[in-house]
Structure 1
Amino acid sequence: MRYPLVPLVNELTFPLLFFWFCLPFVFLLIVLIFWLQLLLNEVLYSSPLWVRGESRLYRGAVKGFS
């Protein structure tokens, strides 16, 4: 097997190769952050009132509950 005349990775090509190698992982990290934010907001808005601390607004709405 013969080696190429010009090496693939040298001081000129390393930053470019490093950038293209890391780019998919950065995109995955960004998508993961947005997805987790969406899940946390969904849990927050679908949780019962007493979990969110809004039950004090409805104290007088139920008879016998003060």
Structure 2
Amino acid sequence: MMTLLFLWMKMKKDFLPSTLQVRIYLVGVGKGFPIPTVFLKEMLWSSIDSALGILGNTLYVLKS
């Protein structure tokens, strides 16, 4: 799970999640709580969104 968070943060260099979210996440991991699915969905969608944004920008630059 830690690698997931790391990969997500690497993908999201332009946007870092609020420290509170990360703190809740890390406390949850430390105590062995299951990660809320809402947080995972948010991570998934924001990383997809970021990837699409990067792809879109690259295509736009290549096209012009």
- Looking at both structures, which has the greater relative contact order when contacts are Cα pairs under 8 Å and sequence separation is at least 6? 2
Structure label with greater radius of gyration: 1
